[in-house]
Amino acid sequence: MIDFIRSRQLLVDQMLDRSTRRFPDKVALVNNDMCVTYEELHNRVNSFAGWLQSKGIQKGDKVALLLFNGIEYAECLYAIAKVGAVAVTINFRLQPSEIEYILTNSESKMIVIDSNLVSTLETIMDCIPNLEDIVVVDDNNLHNHSYYSYQQIFTNVYTPVLVELEDDDDFLIVYTSGTTGKPKGAVLTHKNVYLNAMNYSLEFGLTKDEVQLITTPMFHIGGISALSMVILMGGRSVFHDKFDPERVLETYETKKITYSFMVPSMWNMLLEHPKFAEFDVTSLRVLCTAAASTPLELKKRLIKHFPNAGVFDTYGQTETSPGTTTLKPTDSLNKSGSVGLSFTNVEIRVVDEQMNDVAPGQVGEIIFRGPTVMKEYYKNPDATAEAFRGGWLHSGDLVVADEEGYISVVDRKKDMVISGGENIYPKEIEEVLYTHPDILDAAVIGVPDPKWGETIKAFIVLRNGKSLSKQDVINYCSDKIASYKKPRHVEFLDELPRNAAGKILKTVLREEELRNVSKQA
């Protein structure tokens, strides 16, 4: 009877169950030379789920994942879902103290970890009393016999005991980047993740014949979203454990990739690769860009160099599982700068500080409601209450909606600069900078100014072999935007600081700027 009740719910493990019934012999996952069919994946997920239960993992228990992209990541996610436990995904680039915070805050009882990351974990073990078991992947030289070998688990067959689950039960905790204070754990339910996968599949027109490349990190909600929507449709996912532009191009050609999601900076690096023209990319039919604003010039280049593909510019947040809006290929150029209309099943409003709807063309905060919006911030009722004030999830993003409802992201609320009483949105200036043929990457922040309160500083990354002066950059902007918006200061960098999701870390730029000011004082 439990099985029947579960079948009526939007449960993450049901995605795999249903696709396995439809396509048991079809290849589901590929990693290097390893291929796994839906039937094989389903059997391994069931066995690992049974093993988890044999080690005392129960409904609601937290199991952390500190892994690189690979088939094991997918197996763990679906096994954790099946037993009703909660997956806690951790960025492998974090410092030990940051990992310690997440493991402690989430109360994780078990961690599945890549062997190359064990030494990092061992430096903080004494500070994580709640962590009971460690499972090591790629454990050829497992030196601590108190750890479990992931590979050895599958030498036996375990059968899971089905537990009662509803789709509003917790499935995932994804920690935000922590740009303001400690990271917050966004709690996403089975329904959140399931309906997000359905939304993307519907908006993008995905089919059972989809072959996608996943090269964005799986610890980020974007990677989990990509995996889940293709599993839901019965398609194939190819994993890369790190981003290598030439390897991506080779995979596009040899694996006949049809769908690819990357952040703008990754697409930029791909197009900049000197061997780009040597590879056949005609199998691509859907390109998705998200996680950061996509400059119009980059979008034009994608359209030009991927002749058979439509470019979908999407916008969302970890807290919304993540998709909220998308600009479809038919609108890419006539609605330039927009991130489109809301996804199916997502309600949006654009409001002022008092939560009154603003008129089309007016700047306001975009807020969300619907079944893909997170349940809460884990163990953080104050942050949850603040985020959900008025019964809607507040994004912290400033946007403009046009008369037809198309959304354009103006900037993060906290990134807005006020100079001489004028509101300045760095994104507008960045869009101008990206049109310069010699500029590869750009970020704009406000810096203290004795006369105006704040003024504009631009951080610039030049294309290889190109040269510009600071005055060249200022003059270029002067011809295209109002004088009060142009940068007063320019600094050239080899690269911009980014988090694992590809978002530029303006907090890092601001902190460095404040340190420089302090030194000069």
User: What are φ and ψ of residue 30, in 5° steps?
Assistant: -135, 130
**pLDDT, tens digit, 9 for 90 and up, residues 457-490:** 999 999 988 999 999 999 999 888 888 888 999 9
User: What are φ and ψ of residue 190, in 5° steps?
Assistant: -55, -45
For the beta sheet containing 439-449, the strands, ordered from the edge strand earlier in sequence to the opposite edge, are 439-449, 453-462, 489-492
User: 261 or 293, which is more confident?
Assistant: 261
**pLDDT, tens digit, 9 for 90 and up, residues 48-103:** 999 999 999 999 999 999 999 999 999 999 999 999 999 999 988 888 888 999 99
Mean pLDDT of 412-441: 83
The span from the CA of 96 to the CA of 122, in Å, is: 9
pLDDT band at 292 (very low <50, low <70, confident <90, very high): low
Q: Is there a common fold for 39-165 and 416-520?
A: no
Which pTM does this prediction carry? Answer: 0.86
**pLDDT, tens digit, 9 for 90 and up, residues 24-51:** 999 999 999 999 999 999 999 999 999 9
The span from the CA of 140 to the CA of 474, in Å, is: 56
Q: Which is nearest to 491 in space by CA: 515, 512, 505, 507?
A: 512
The span from the CA of 224 to the CA of 489, in Å, is: 40
Mean pLDDT of 392-398: 92
Fold of 39-165: Rossmann fold (3.40.50)
- CATH classification of 416-520, choosing from 3.50.50.60, 3.30.300.30, 3.40.30.10, 3.40.50.300? 3.30.300.30
User: What are φ and ψ of residue 449, in 5° steps?
Assistant: -140, 125
Domain spanning 191-413: which CATH class is it, in words?
A: alpha beta
User: What are φ and ψ of residue 192, in 5° steps?
Assistant: -55, -55
Q: Is the peptide bond before 322 cis (omega within 30 degrees of 0)?
A: yes
pLDDT, position 225: 97
**pLDDT, tens digit, 9 for 90 and up, residues 344-362:** 999 999 999 999 999 999 9
**Helices in 23-153 by DSSP H: which ranges?**
38-54, 71-82, 96-106, 118-122, 150-153
Mean pLDDT of 103-126: 96
pLDDT, position 500: 67
User: What are φ and ψ of residue 412, in 5° steps?
Assistant: -70, 145
Average pLDDT, the chain: 92
For the beta sheet containing 148-149, the strands, ordered from the edge strand earlier in sequence to the opposite edge, are 148-149, 133-137, 108-114, 62-66, 86-89, 170-175, 185-189, 376-377
The span from the CA of 377 to the CA of 280, in Å, is: 44
User: What are φ and ψ of residue 232, in 5° steps?
Assistant: -55, -40
pLDDT, position 179: 47
Lowest mean pLDDT among 234-238, 438-442, 446-450: 446-450
CB 217 within 8 A of CB 91: yes
Q: Which segments of 90-222 are extended strands (E)?
A: 108-114, 133-137, 148-149, 170-175, 185-189, 211-214
pLDDT, position 507: 81
**pLDDT, tens digit, 9 for 90 and up, residues 302-343:** 999 999 999 999 999 999 999 999 999 999 888 888 999 999
Q: What residue segments make up the domains of the chain, in order of their start?
A: 39-165, 191-413, 416-520
**What is the β-pairing status of strands 86-89 and 376-377?**
unpaired
Share of the chain above pLDDT 70, in %: 96
Mean pLDDT of 363-382: 97
pLDDT band at 160 (very low <50, low <70, confident <90, very high): very high
Share of the chain above pLDDT 90, in %: 75
Contacts of 90 (CB under 8 A, 6+ apart): 64, 65, 66, 99, 102, 103, 175, 219
User: 336 or 387, which is more confident?
Assistant: 387
Which amino acid appears at position 201 of this protein?
S
The span from the CA of 72 to the CA of 134, in Å, is: 15
The span from the CA of 120 to the CA of 97, in Å, is: 10
Helix (H) / strand (E) containing 489: strand 489-492
